[in-house]
Each structure stands twice: as structure tokens, then as C-alpha cells.
């Protein structure tokens, strides 16, 4: 928000000793604590570090473990055998957590012809695995790794191009959206018939410990799989395989809620994204493929190292909403609610007891997600089922911190494959259960649309 | 307090009929004129010029390895090694402000990833494919940048001889230096007004032109950058090899340049705090702090000077000192931690006030 009447503000400041600041701590307009997006884990920072700070309520012991975890999250791995931090690959997508989750934020969609840096493709063929998950594509597994250590043949190259799609608002304002098309070229082996691919952009990683602490009952309680209330919105829980407890659990993480907890998410990323094996995923992602290394060095990290990394993610702070009392923001919030966005982007949740990090327990949080799957229509569909998620269902992504995307990671990219270059584009891609809300948005005046976007940018 | 301010807000809204200004308008806060000057000086007098120096020194390094390739003798090797250290200096002095394009464009990982991937480096050296800038650009970050060049120039134990270079290594060195130069050019251009002008975001903080919603946020960005590098030096660069007594965890061990690296990191803090860099002398964060708390200001100046001195006082190389002079390493670490603590606990609250 710019100051368009600075003189008046200054005069009033002098008179009332009043700071018209963007620091919600002292923002008098905050009648409630809705701006405390992460409850007691909230920080007041609108800089490029906004997603990278430890929760302020951590105990000394937790902070110490967070700092160790920070180093693990940033660590580059190299080809084994190595003096330090060996185990990369032989097949991989990237060499460190941080390389994809730059500044703990969103990934970048590749420009046409550019290599993928923080976007990956999941792969499968028809059917379901022993535990109900997708069946990895023969020769490629569950994820495409376009990179390999020296002397090893990568699985394939991934090329991206974009289709442009034009449209306009009822008021005549035009837009142009872009939809990515991924093509595999120079693959080391034949592409299996019927192989399904799903692009996934690296999501921001802060606040996830809080989402882990939301009781399953609270999430399931919001579901309406058969749309009994006939609001056009179902909301379905995903149930997925927990490799750690060896049981079926509610899915929470990933673009299709295909992962039950952060330790599994982290250990799986080590294995699939970096080729780093752990006790939880002891086989290389190239297992059974000719690229598999002949080294007997698995697991390449300890369970504690994976846990340490997960601990870091769990204990990152959530940035507070900025300017919650700004009239434009207030109006935008009303429009967000009345357009029906909040039906899925649930403004408020409460955490229960976190099993590992007590600082995350019993927090009132404002993530703007229900953690449920919703049919988002054909235009966004990847056509690849993932446990109970259909090819057109996606888990509602959280919106907290979304307005800081640009300051944290530069050019912003939104949605599962980063196709949207602005929040406005992201809204315009909504379909399926969100079709009605999108139509509501389109019918707004330009001023109102801007207010709604201003609200989103305040998050 | 809160109730009182709430009424203040109502009146403001009623009279001005406007949204809140983000800019620093609190009477206790920096006068806006000061903040503008500080942010302008930091951007145009320190950050962009540091990147300019980095780019110039990367050019010198490319020149020096080219000379070395043409005549690999001891004198030319020494010149190339000195050129590496000279390029390292502005980079380490830029690590107090690791935000913006250096990060969002992936330049930091492309020039300073650690550790080096020795296995893959050996594999690439064993291949016959021509080593061009494009080839190196396309390689993993752990196969290029400062530490790859350092390893090739200094050897595993700072024992490289001019006679020890294979033609392939020299070819790699030149391509890697070209790649590094490409990155530093990109970095400088991204801040410079004739390029993408990122410095404008700091100078115009609080205006719609800037990604920073207020000048306070921009000053917070600078302060965060200082905290991050103090933390990195104390709890990463010094602590990892020191606490585990393992030189393999030391970042610039091939060149024995670690102590200088650490000092230059703290000089980066000093430059931002004092608003001084080489011949430039303007206003820095000190300007904001000294008006509010002169005692704190002089304490910070002392703490920064003490830390630089304590690092310099570590005898011999850092690799040796973590075994044979541990108290001196610990003393330096404590002084750097003190800077971190001061900026976290004393400076940041004043910036945000």
C-alpha cells in the first residue's frame, strides 16, 4: 500500500502519536487476531526472509534443532563416494532441498525451452499399488528424474512449451492465460504406453508443522464427499499409505494430499528428488533401472537427518497478514467471502496436539485451506489419479503468505505447474467446484477485483 | 495502548479517508528523509558497487587463468591464485546482503555451492567433450563457481604446482572462469539502473514501484541480511569444522582463505552498518540506530571491529587452528555470535519500532 496522502498521515501522526504501520502487532485496526496467520508461530516480516525464519515461540532446544535442520535443508549433496555429503543420485531432480524451495518459498515454472529447476513430473501407469497408490511407470518409476551424476544417462529430457488462451471479463477487460505442455525427448528407454504425468511445482514449506497438527477429525469434519449440503462443493479427504507407521492415514501434504506427514514428505523428497536413501526409503529412485549405482552405501542419510530436516520445515514461522485494517483489504476480504472462495480456502483452523513439537499445539491459525481434495475442472486436470484423488482433483493450497511470493522469490508462479503468473490468473484457472466462485469474481467490477486481489496480497 | 491507538485510527480514517500508509511515519521511527537516504546509500554506494567490483575481479580472474593456460609456470599460477582471492573478497563482502537477484536468479548457488562434487569433476575431466562456457553453465552448481575453480587452482591441500595441470584442467578452468564471469555480470546488471535496476526497490521502498511495502520492511531486509551472515559465519562456517574437528567441513580450505572469508563477511556487515565501502562514505544502518540509541551504536561499532580483529588473531591457517589454537577460534566465534545477538535483540526491535 502506498501512501497517497503522506502529509495528512504525518500531521495525524504528530497529533496522535500514532504509527500507521504495516506491523500488525501495533495495528490498531486489528479488532481480532485474524492477522496472526500462524498463531503464536507468527512473525512480522515482509522481506525476502519472510518464509525462512524460525517460529518465535520455539524453546531453546527446539530453536537449536531448527538451526541444525536449516543447515540440512540447505545442504548440497554430491556424488558418492565423497568426503562429505555424498549420495546424490545417480538420478535426481536437484542437489539440495533449498535449490527447489528457494528461500523456503515457491518454485519457478520454466520459460519455454528452459530446463526445469523447481518443477518435477510424477509418472504412473494405470492401476493401483498394494497400498492404493499410483503404479510407477516401468523404466521411470513414480517420478521423472531428468538429471544424472556424471557418466550416468538421465531418464529423459523434459521440454516445455506454452499454449496461450485468451478470454475476457464481462466488463470487456481481456486476459491471456498460458498452459504448459511437457514433452519427454531423448528418453533412455521407450515411454510406456498410457504413461500419465503430473507436473508439480515446489510449494512453500513454512507453516506445514501447523497443518500437520490439525486434528484429522477437524479436516474430515469439513468434508462433504457427496455434497449433501448441495453447495456444489464436495471436499474429499485423501487416504494414503504411511510408510513409517505402515498404515493408511489421512493425506495432508503434496498437491494431491498424497502424503500423511512431514517426515515421510521429507524422506520421500530426499529419495525421489535427490537420490538420497534413508531408513524410510532405503532404495534408490533408480532401483531396478540400469542407472542404479552399484555402491553398497544405503541408507545414505540417517533417519535422524531426515527427521532433522523435517523438524526445520515444521518449525518455520508463518508471516503475519499485513495491513488487515486497510479499507481496501477489508473490502477485498468481504468479496473473497461472498464470492465463495472461503468454502475451500478455509480462513481459520485450530491445531490439536503436535506429536513432536509442542510449540505447534493448540494454535488458532489462518491458512486458508481445508486440506481437502476438490474437483478443479478439466482445464487444471492432470488426468493422473493419486490414491483417492482423481485426475481432476487437487488439495486446496494454503494462501497464507501468498502476497509475499514476489518479495521472497522474485517472479511469482502459482498453481500446481506454475502456469499462473499472477494471483488473478490463478483465480481465472479455477473450474469444477470452484467454477461458481470464479464466475462471481469475473462479474465483479475492476475496482472490486482489485480489492479482492489486494486482500490476497495482504495475506 | 491498543484502545487508544484504535481511536487514533478511526479519526485518521475519518479525516483522511484513506488506507494506512506503510511508510515510516511513526514519530519515533526514522524520519522518512533519513530512511530514504540510508536506503539510497546502501543500494547505490555499497551493494551495487560491491557487485561491480565482484564482476571486475571475476574478469581479472578470467584473464589470469587465460594467461596461466598459455604459460603454466609458477609465476602465472600465483597470479591466478591471487586473482581468485581478489575475486573472493567482494563476493564475501556481498554475503551480508544475500537477497534479491543473487537469490531469485539462482546466482548464489551457481557461484558458491559447497561442497565441490569431486567425483563428477573427475568424470568430466576424463571425458573428451569440449569444455566451453555453455557446457559449464549446463553443469550442476557443485561443478562450477568459486570452489571448483579454487580446487583446480590450489589443489586438495593448497599444494598445486604449475607443472601439475593437465591441459584438460586448464581448459576447465577457463570455461569455469567464463561461467563465473557470466554470473557476476548478470548479478551486477540486475542491480544497476541500466539493467533491471533492483536497487530501485530499496530506494523506492514503500512506493508502488517497490516490492517492499514500506521503508521499514526494506530496513528489516538489510538487518535480516546481517543477522543471516553473522549466523552463517558463527554457527556454520566456523562451527561446523570447529565443533567436529573436521577440515573437510571447512569451506575455503583448498586456498587456506577461510579466515579472510570470515573477515570479509564481517566487513560486509560493517559496510552496511556504517554506510561505507572503499572510497564511498554515506549513511548506513548506524544512522538509524545512533539517533535512537547512541550507546548501542558505539557498542555495535566496537563489536564489529572486535570480531574482525579476533578472526585475524587466529594464528596460522584455520585448518590448523581448529586443532592447535582452539581457544582463539572459539574467541572469534563468540565475537561473531555477539554481533548476531545484538542485531537480533537490539537492532531489529529499533528498526521495527
| CATH number of domain containing B113 | 1.20.1420.20
B225 lies in some domain:
yes
Q: How far apart are CA A321 and CA A246, in angstroms?
A: 38
Count: domains in chain B = 1
Domain ranges, residue B274: 30-352
Half-sphere exposure of B286 (CA within 13 A, CB side): 21
In a mutational test of the B interface, the residue from A7, A49, A153, A324 whose CB has the highest number of chain B CBs within 10 Å is A49
Report, in angstroms and rounded to the nearest whole number, the Rg of chain A calculated over CA atoms: 22
What is the model's pLDDT at position A387?
Answer: 98
Look at residue B22 and tell me if it is in a domain: no
Tell me which residues of chain B, numbers 86 to 125, contact chain A at a CB-CB cutoff of 8 Å. Answer: 99-101, 103-106, 109, 113-120, 123-124
pLDDT range class, residue A12, cuts 50, 70, 90? very low
Q: Is B214–A21 a contact, with Cβ atoms under 8 angstroms apart?
A: yes
Query: Does residue B8 surpass a pLDDT of 90?
Result: no
Q: Looking at residues A34-63, what average pLDDT do you find? A: 97
Region of residue A399 (left: phi > 0; alpha: psi -120 to 50; beta: else):
alpha
Longest dimension (CA), chain B: 79
Provide the pLDDT for residue A31. 57
CA separation for the pair B186, B102 (Å, rounded): 9
Task: Establish if B41 belongs to a structural domain.
Answer: yes
Distance of alpha carbon A412 from alpha carbon A403, whole angstroms: 10
Share of chain B above pLDDT 70, in %: 91
Q: What residues of chain A, 180 to 209, have a C-beta less than 8 Å from chain B?
A: none
Model-level ipTM above the cut of 0.85: yes
Instruction: Tell me the average pLDDT across A97-126.
Output: 96
Among A residues 118-147, those touching chain B with beta carbons less than 8 Å apart: 147
Question: Nearest residue of B to residue A115 by CA position?
Answer: B138
- Distance set, CA A252 to CA A135, A189, A257, A373 (Å): 20, 34, 5, 10
For residue B202, the model assigns a pLDDT of 98
Supply the mean pLDDT for chain A.
93
Query: How many pairs of residues across A and B have Cβ atoms under 8 Å apart?
Result: 198
How far is B214 from B216, CA to CA, in rounded Å? 5
A2, B206: Cβ pair inside 8 Å? yes
Q: What is the pLDDT of residue B6?
A: 29
Quick: pLDDT tens for B301-336.
999 999 999 999 999 999 999 999 999 999 999 999
- Whether residue B20 and residue A323 make contact (CB cut-off 8 A), yes or no, is yes
Q: Is the pLDDT of residue A15 over 80?
A: no
pLDDT, tens digit, 9 for 90 and up, residues B247-264: 999 999 999 999 999 999
pLDDT of A293: 84
Q: Which residues of B touch A6 (CB under 8 A)?
A: 21, 23, 25, 32
Phi and psi at residue B92, in whole multiples of 5°? -65, -35
Strand-strand pairing, A239-242 and A318-319: unpaired
Mean pLDDT, range B97-113, rounded to an integer? 96
- Per residue in B143-199, pLDDT (tens digit) is 999 999 999 999 998 889 999 999 999 999 999 999 999 999 999 999 999 999 999
Determine contact: A56 vs chain B, CB below 8 A.
no
Helix (H, G, I), strand (E, B) or coil at B239: helix
Give yes or no for residue B17 having a pLDDT over 80: no
3-state helix, strand, coil in chain B (%, to 5): 70, 0, 25
pTM of the model: 0.90
Which pLDDT value is given to residue A454? 97
Q: Is the pLDDT of residue B23 over 90?
A: no
Angle at A180 between CA A177 and CA A183, to 5 degrees: 160
pLDDT digits over B79-93, tens only?
Answer: 999 999 999 999 999
On whether residue B348 sits in a domain, the answer given is yes
Phi-psi region of A173 (alpha: psi -120 to 50; beta: other; left: phi over 0): beta
Q: What is the pLDDT of residues A135-165, one digit of tens each?
A: 999 999 999 999 999 999 999 999 999 999 9
DSSP 8-state class, residue B232: I
Task: Report helix angle B146-154 to B167-191, nearest 10.
Answer: 150
Three-state SS at B270: helix
| B15 in a structural domain | no
The answer on pLDDT for A435 being more than 80 is: yes
Amino acid at each position: 500500500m502506498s501512501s497517497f496522502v503522506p502529509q495528512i498521515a504525518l500531521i495525524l501522526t504528530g497529533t496522535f502519536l500514532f504509527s500507521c504501520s504495516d506491523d500488525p502487532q501495533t495495528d490498531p485496526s486489528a479488532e481480532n487476531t485474524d492477522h496472526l496467520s500462524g498463531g503464536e508461530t507468527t512473525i512480522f516480516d515482509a522481506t525476502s526472509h519472510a518464509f525462512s525464519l524460525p517460529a518465535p515461540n520455539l524453546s531453546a532446544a527446539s530453536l537449536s534443532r531448527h538451526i541444525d535442520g536449516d543447515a540440512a535443508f540447505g545442504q548440497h549433496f554430491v556424488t558418492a563416494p565423497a568426503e562429505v555429503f555424498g549420495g546424490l543420485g545417480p538420478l535426481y531432480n536437484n542437489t539440495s532441498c533449498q535449490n527447489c524451495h528457494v528461500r523456503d518459498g515457491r518454485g519457478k515454472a520454466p520459460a519455454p525451452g528452459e530446463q526445469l529447476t523447481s518443477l518435477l513430473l510424477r509418472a504412473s501407469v494405470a492401476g493401483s499399488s498394494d497400498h492404493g497408490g499410483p503404479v510407477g511407470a516401468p523404466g521411470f518409476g513414480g517420478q521423472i528424474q531428468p538429471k544424472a551424476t556424471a557418466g550416468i544417462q538421465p531418464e529423459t529430457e523434459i521440454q516445455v512449451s506454452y499454449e496461450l488462451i485468451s478470454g475476457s471479463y464481462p466488463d470487456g477487460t481481456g486476459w491471456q492465460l498460458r498452459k504448459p505442455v511437457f514433452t519427454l525427448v531423448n528418453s533412455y528407454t521407450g515411454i510406456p504406453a498410457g504413461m500419465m504425468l503430473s507436473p508439480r511445482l515446489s510449494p512453500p514449506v513454512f507453516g506445514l508443522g501447523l497443518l500437520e497438527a490439525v486434528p484429522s477429525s477437524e479436516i474430515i469434519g469439513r468434508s462433504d464427499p457427496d455434497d449433501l449440503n448441495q453447495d456444489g462443493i464436495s471436499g474429499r479427504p485423501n487416504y494414503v499409505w504411511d510408510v513409517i507407521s505402515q498404515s493408511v492415514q489421512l493425506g495432508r501434504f503434496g498437491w494431491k494430499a498424497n502424503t500423511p506427514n512431514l517426515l515421510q514428505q521429507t524422506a520421500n523428497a530426499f529419495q525421489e528428488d535427490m537420490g538420497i536413501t534413508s531408513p524410510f526409503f532405503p532404495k534408490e529412485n533408480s532401483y531396478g533401472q540400469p542407472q542404479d549405482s552399484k555402491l553398497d552405501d544405503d541408507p545414505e542419510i540417517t533417519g535422524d537427518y531426515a527427521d532433522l530436516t523435517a523438524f526445520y520445515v515444521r518449525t518455520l514461522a508463518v508471516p503475519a497478514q499485513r495491513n488487515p485494517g486497510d479499507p481496501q483489504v477489508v473490502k477485498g476480504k468481504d468479496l473473497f467471502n461472498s464470492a465463495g472462495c472461503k468454502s475451500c480456502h478455509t480462513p481459520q483452523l485450530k491445531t490439536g496436539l503436535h506429536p513432536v513439537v509442542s510449540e505447534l499445539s493448540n494454535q488458532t491459525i489462518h491458512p486458508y485451506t481445508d486440506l481437502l481434495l476438490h474437483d478443479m475442472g478439466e482445464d487444471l486436470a492432470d488426468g493422473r489419479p493419486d490414491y483417492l484423488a482423481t485426475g481432476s482433483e487437487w488439495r486446496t493450497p494454503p494462501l497464507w503468505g501468498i502476497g509475499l511470493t514476489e518479495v521472497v522469490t522474485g517472479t511469482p508462479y502459482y498453481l500446481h505447474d506454475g502456469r499462473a503468473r499472477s494471483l488473478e490468473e490463478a483465480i481465472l484457472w479455477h473450474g469444477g467446484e470452484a467454477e461458481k466462485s470464479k464466475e462471481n469474481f469475473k462479474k465483479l467490477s475492476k475496482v472490486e477485483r482489485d480489492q479482492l486481489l489486494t486482500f490476497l496480497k495482504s495475506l | 495502548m491498543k484502545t487508544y491507538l484504535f481511536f487514533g485510527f478511526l479519526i485518521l480514517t475519518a479525516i483522511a479517508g484513506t488506507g494506512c500508509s506503510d511508510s515510516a511515519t511513526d514519530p519515533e521511527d526514522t524520519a522518512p528523509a533519513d530512511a530514504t537516504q540510508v536506503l539510497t546509500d546502501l543500494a547505490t554506494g555499497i551493494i551495487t558497487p560491491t557487485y561491480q567490483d565482484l564482476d571486475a575481479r571475476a574478469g581479472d580472474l578470467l584473464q589470469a587463468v587465460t594467461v596461466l593456460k598459455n604459460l603454466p609456470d609458477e609465476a602465472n599460477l600465483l597470479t591466478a591464485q591471487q586473482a581468485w582471492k581478489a575475486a573472493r573478497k567482494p563476493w564475501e563482502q556481498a554475503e551480508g546482503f544475500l537477497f534479491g537477484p543473487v537469490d531469485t536468479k539462482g546466482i548464489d548457488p551457481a557461484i558458491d555451492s559447497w561442497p565441490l562434487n569431486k567425483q563428477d569433476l573427475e568424470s568430466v575431466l576424463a571425458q573428451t567433450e569440449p569444455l566451453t562456457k555453455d557446457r559449464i553453465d549446463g553443469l550442476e552448481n557443485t561443478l562450477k563457481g568459486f570452489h571448483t575453480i579454487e580446487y583446480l587452482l590450489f589443489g586438495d591441500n593448497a599444494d598445486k604446482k604449475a607443472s601439475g595441470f593437465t591441459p584438460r584442467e586448464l581448459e576447465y578452468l577457463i570455461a569455469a572462469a567464463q561461467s563465473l564471469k557470466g554470473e557476476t555480470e548478470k548479478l551486477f546488471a540486475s542491480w544497476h539502473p541500466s539493467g533491471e535496476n533492483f536497487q530501485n526497490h530499496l530506494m523506492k521502498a514503500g512506493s508502488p514501484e517497490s516490492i517492499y511495502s514500506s521503508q521499514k520492511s526494506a530496513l528489516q531486509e538489510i538487518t535480516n541480511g546481517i543477522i543471516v551472515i553473522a549466523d552463517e559465519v558463527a554457527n556454520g562456517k566456523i562451527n561446523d569444522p570447529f565443533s567436529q574437528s573436521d577440515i573437510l567441513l571447512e569451506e575455503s580450505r583448498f586456498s587456506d582463505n577461510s579466515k579472510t572469508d570470515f573477515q570479509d563477511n564481517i566487513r560486509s556487515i560493517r559496510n552496511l552498518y556504517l554506510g561505507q565501502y572503499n572510497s564511498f562514505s554515506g549513511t548506513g544502518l548506524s544512522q538509524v540506530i545512533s539517533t535512537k540509541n547512541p550507546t548501542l551504536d558505539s557498542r555495535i561499532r566496537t563489536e564489529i571491529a572486535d570480531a574482525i580483529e579476533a578472526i585475524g588473531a587466529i594464528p596460522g591457517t584455520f585448518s590448523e587452528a581448529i586443532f592447535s589454537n582452539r581457544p582463539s577460534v572459539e574467541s572469534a566465534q563468540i565475537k561473531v555470535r555477539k554481533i548476531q545477538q545484538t542485531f537480533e535483540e537490539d537492532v531489529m526491535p529499533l528498526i521495527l519500532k
